[in-house]
Amino acid sequence: MPKKLLLPILLAVLAVSCSTKERESLDVEHIVVIGIDGMSPNGIQKANTPTLDSMIQNGAATMHARSVLPSSSSPNWASMIMGADTEQHGVTSNGWEKFDHQLPPVVVTENGTFPTIFTLFKDQQPEAHVGAIYDWDGFGRLFEKSDVDFDIDGDHEDKTTEEAVNYIKAHTPKFTFVHLDHVDHAGHAQGHGTPDYYQSVEKADSLIVEIVNATKDAGIFKKTMFIISADHGGLGFGHGGESLAEMEIPFIMYGAGIKKGYQIEETVYQYDNAPTVAYAMDLQTPQAWIGRPIKGAFVGNEAPKLIYKRKEQIIQPKIFPDAGYFEPSGGVFKADSVAVIIQNPNNVGEIRYTIGNTVPSFENSEFYRDTFYLKNTEIIKAGIFQDGQLVSTVAEGNFRIVSKTKQDPVKFQLYQVSGIEKLPDFSALDPIYEGFVTEFSHKQAISEDVPQEQVALAYESYLDVLEAGNYTFYTNSDDGSKLYVNGTEIVDNDGDHGVMERSGSLELAKGRHLVRVEFFNGGGGYHLDVKYTGPNIPKQIVPANHLYREK
């Protein structure tokens, strides 16, 4: 045989033998993935979690794994089991259904769905026993039932855990996926970062140990690898946005084949979960998957050499007054002037700020010394600087100042709608409450005096446009919303989802234009704010001083 052909063949044989040797050294025969809905790294760090703490100390972990956008449940559970992001599998919101969605998957199985980790087991290891046990019934629509041998909706965290324990003991499955939902419920009901939220994480910890003990009782513990992760974190009473509190998730690997005390420094994304399972089980992943296995966490593998590493986080400054979650600091004020206070939550650096739409640099910003006052509607942007360089993300405040005598310009009507999942036909409904508020927001319209769940609202006001040109409007809402200008739909942000922003643009002439905003909340946390931008107008919450009851 010619030497030119012999060398490539030898290299190929060597590569295969090395790959096989690497795989054989893992000694993983069973995998259990436990996904805790809404469990943030903060939850593990601040709650009493002896089981998770032990897994972290005796396994491999990072508290800096990331969800996909939007940071809502369906897109992230899909990405976790599909090894791909939303633009590949098409599960872009909680409103997704197999035959009712906007973005089709890039590839499909014979059943018409994007391939999941369950599909890989069915196609490549059909003899393997595979089970899915889940607390939230919405998880069950994300995979094909024919791809698993055991499929059950536990409908409660205790029942789900009991079903998982019994399943493991009865079948010693090759792959088990367990979904627990109660932590997310606590986040929506009592708020993320509250004592009740941490208590729910502690309960998750106690349920995880029951599942681990089941593998011991079944005699498979020593050959079982565990992955513990989450779909998203949370902020206030919700999630769906782009903050680190919503986007960062824990990723913990423990048991057979996993290094002990390994701190995962490489980046980990939601869609890396399934490829990691496939790597451990010697499954070939589809070309359409974009996820990568976390190889550095496995025994016998070297840690990756990272050219670019995670930056030490410098927290952005805090601008007061705080407007709450999911919108800029500041607020709307009926006053002659408003005090602006900025605080540095770090032990290093200095605060510099700008008034207007300019991102602060060392040259164009003011050094913050003490409280200052605003007399007009303004945008404040501030950052932390070290050695003349901006080292934090930029904090923003929107201050809307209106005359004390100005009438509240936004008319609203509130409707009770049972079982609401999309915006209703308002013309067929009768409002149960109505009035006027200062701006397009949930804050004044939804109060303790009216129902807060299963409700829809319609807002109307006239926006005074001072300069003709192209205007872009944004609704940021949980759940769905739409925005109309002069009767034409401009923004479609409808559907059952977490905090999500959508936008649309149009040309407007000088003068007053009717703006209508529709919004609903099905249940749990809720939020609505409306922004715009236009000629010489930076993106900001539509200011009340430009809104009027009449044309």
Which residue, 393, 396, 388, 338, is CA-closest to 367? 388
Mean pLDDT of the chain: 93
- DSSP symbol at 358: P
- Whether the per-residue pLDDT at 447 is higher than 90: the answer is no
Which residue, 418, 450, 421, 420, is CA-closest to 437? 450
pLDDT digits (tens, 9 = 90+) for 414-439: 999 999 999 999 999 999 999 999 99
Residue 73: which region, alpha, beta or left (left: phi > 0; alpha: psi -120 to 50)? alpha
Strand segments, DSSP code E, in 237-309 are 248-255, 262-263
- Whether the per-residue pLDDT at 195 is higher than 50: the answer is yes
- The proportion of the chain whose per-residue pLDDT surpasses 70, expressed as a percent, equals 95
CA distance 257 to 273: 16
Give the max Cα distance, the chain.
95
Determine the average pLDDT of the residues in 76-102: 94
pLDDT digits (tens, 9 = 90+) for 333-380: 999 999 999 999 998 999 999 998 899 999 999 999 999 999 999 999
- What pLDDT score does 25 carry? 65
Determine the average pLDDT of the residues in 250-276: 97
Question: In which band, very low, low, confident or very high, does the pLDDT at 224 lie, cut at 50, 70 and 90?
Answer: very high
CA distance 437 to 410: 5
CA distance 345 to 339: 19
Q: Quote the Cα angle for 151-185-252, to 5°.
A: 65
Question: What does 185-231 look like in DSSP terms, one character per residue?
Answer: HHHHHT-TTSHHHHHHHHHHHHHHHHHHHHHHHTT-GGGEEEEEE-S
Query: Secondary structure of 365-408 in the HEC alphabet?
Result: CEECCCCEEECCCEEEEEEEEECCEECCCCEEEEEEEECCCCCC
CA distance 94 to 91: 8
φ, ψ (nearest 5 deg) of residue 74? -60, -50
Contacts of 355 (CB under 8 A, 6+ apart): 374, 378, 379, 380
Higher pLDDT, 225 or 100: 225
Question: In which band, very low, low, confident or very high, does the pLDDT at 310 lie, cut at 50, 70 and 90?
Answer: confident
- DSSP symbol at 448: T
- Whether the per-residue pLDDT at 10 is higher than 50: the answer is no
Q: Which residues of 249-258 are buried (b: 16+ CB within 10 A; e: fewer)?
A: bbbbbbbbbb
Tokens of 227: 């992955």
- What pLDDT score does 20 carry? 37
**Cα distances (angstroms) measured from residue 500 to each of 37, 165, 475:** 18, 37, 8
3: helix, strand or coil:
helix
User: How many other CB atoms are there within 10 angstroms of residue 102's CB atom?
Assistant: 10
- Whether the per-residue pLDDT at 524 is higher than 90: the answer is no
Q: What is the pTM (predicted TM-score) of this model? A: 0.82
- Whether the per-residue pLDDT at 23 is higher than 70: the answer is no
Lowest-confidence segment of 133-137, 261-265, 447-451 by average pLDDT: 447-451
Determine the average pLDDT of the residues in 276-305: 97
Find tokens 């164009």 and name the residue: 364
- Whether the per-residue pLDDT at 238 is higher than 90: the answer is no
- What pLDDT score does 312 carry? 77
- What pLDDT score does 477 carry? 94
Determine the average pLDDT of the residues in 140-151: 96
- Whether the per-residue pLDDT at 18 is higher than 70: the answer is no
φ, ψ (nearest 5 deg) of residue 140? -65, -20
Domains of the chain (ranges, CATH numbers): 19-297 (3.40.720.10), 318-402 (2.60.40), 410-548 (2.60.120.1560)
CA distance 375 to 228: 51
Q: Which residues of 347-384 are buried (b: 16+ CB within 10 A; e: fewer)?
A: eebebbbbbeeeebeeeebeebeeebebeebbbbbbbb
CA distance 121 to 316: 45
Determine the average pLDDT of the residues in 511-527: 94
- The proportion of the chain whose per-residue pLDDT surpasses 90, expressed as a percent, equals 84
Find tokens 């010489």 and name the residue: 536
CA distance 469 to 328: 26
